[in-house]
Amino acid sequence: MDALTQTKLSRRHFIQLTLAGSLALQASSHAFAQATGSRVSEEAPLLPPLTPEVETRTLDKLHKAALAQGADLIVYAGGDLPNAQAAVEQAFKTRFPGMNIRILVDLSKYHDARIDNQLARGKLECDVAHLQTLHDYDRWKAEGHLLLYKPLGWEHVYPDFRDPDGAYVAVNVFCFSNIINTGLIPEAEAPRDALDYLDPKWKERIVLTYPHDDDAVLYQFDRIISERGWGYMDQLMTQDVQWIRGTVPARLVVAKGDKAATFTASGPLTTPPGSPSKLILPKNDSFLTWPQTGAIFKAARHPAAAKLYMSWLLSKEMQEGRGLWPVRRDMSSPEGFGPVINYPTYPVRFRAFMQDRARIERLKFQMEHYIGAIQGQNPTQVHGLYPVGR
């Protein structure tokens, strides 16, 4: 199969999955309405159209508005390394003098529970959240918690990465694939596909994130098992894998040379100069990409700063030069890569996976039977209902 034919097939598959994802979201909305006692029928009156705010001000004008409102901003960001967004904080303060921003990084599954509890108390700490837990955003929208806002650049974002009413929008595209230590493994000999990791030569040389601790990793294992069967796990468990909490910690284990490879971590598509680790895509398997999604809450105490932040995240200055696939269709991919839709990776499929929480819970317990209970402390070391301190 030539490259052009493969690209056409990938695009066609992406479109098919987009339709499937849309239908899944419609079904999810219907189920939510039933659960809350709302009437859903063909005879029911149509709700009035939603009218989001469409941003037309420049970043500089948004900056002035944020300064006038107090210049503070609190963001909850999904991640698994302490202060992982420190560079983004500094870039924001440099670009917009006078602003005071705190981006608190914690596992998304802890942040969403924290947000739900704060909303129930009527005392929300964060203004913005960008998380891995994609299923939360449709629920928060249905519950009326999200501000309908289309930041600058919204119209250029891939349609599957944004809510049509402006309730949420993707801010980053993360890629989970193979990370290898180039000092320990020649790239030509590196494991690329799932079956490669079963080769005896990789015994005791693999580090993986607990799949029952991270839904993105669970999705990766679910895809492998759906293709290879549960026998894959039987064989993988003979490889004396090091299991660890966190996907960035897994990447760091490889970078330090303690292990040679992992397939449960993300990283830039282009290798930074001098980096001991490198991300390489599979030869034949599909792989995971997903849009880390952001939203502003209606209860935000600093809405002007939140609007500035979301528009800045979608700006070309933030989408370029980070080594990641952009969320915007009008921007080029990192050098050597085509658009994300040209590859065997389907963000819409991950979104649909995240909606089925009952199935995810079953998969987690199945994984625990193989691997054992999760060991170790929260890698971000963030604790409490109000960790920033309202």
pLDDT tens string 234-288: 999 999 999 999 999 999 999 999 999 999 999 899 988 889 999 999 999 999 9
One-character DSSP codes across 119-162: HHHT----SEEEES-THHHHHHHHTT-B--EE-TTGGGB-GGGB
221 falls in which pLDDT band (50, 70, 90)? very high
Burial readout 29-61 (b: 16 or more C-beta within 10 A, e: otherwise): beebeeeeeeeeeeeeeeeeeeeeeebeeebee
What is the predicted pLDDT for the residue at 390? 63
Cα separation, 236 vs 104, in Å, equals 35
Contact 215, 133 (CB under 8 A): yes
- Spatial separation of the C-alpha atoms in residues 331 and 169, rounded to whole Å: 16
| Mean pLDDT score, 183-199 | 97
Query: What count of other Cβ atoms lies within 10 Å of the Cβ of residue 348?
Result: 23
pLDDT over threshold 80, residue 101: yes
Asked if 366 and 211 count as a contact pair (C-beta separation under 8 A), the reply is: no
Q: How far apart are CA 82 and CA 69, in angstroms?
A: 29
Find the mean pLDDT for residues 220-241.
Answer: 97
Count Cβ atoms within 10 A of the Cβ of residue 151 and give its class: 0-12 exposed, 13-18 middle, 19 or more buried: buried
**What phi-psi label fits residue 144: left (phi over 0), alpha (psi between -120 and 50 degrees) or beta?**
left
Q: Residue 29: pLDDT band by 50, 70, 90 thresholds?
A: very low
Let me know: does 287 contact 301? Beta carbons within 8 Å.
Answer: no
Quote the pLDDT of residue 365. Answer: 98
Predicted model pTM:
0.87
pLDDT of residue 32: 35
- What is the structure's pLDDT at 48? 64
Identify which of 176, 194, 192 has the alpha carbon closest to the alpha carbon of residue 350. 176
User: Taking 60 as the threshold, does the pLDDT of residue 121 lie above it?
Assistant: yes
pLDDT digits (tens, 9 = 90+) for 274-323: 899 999 999 999 999 999 999 999 999 999 999 999 999 999 999 987 89
Mean pLDDT of the chain: 90
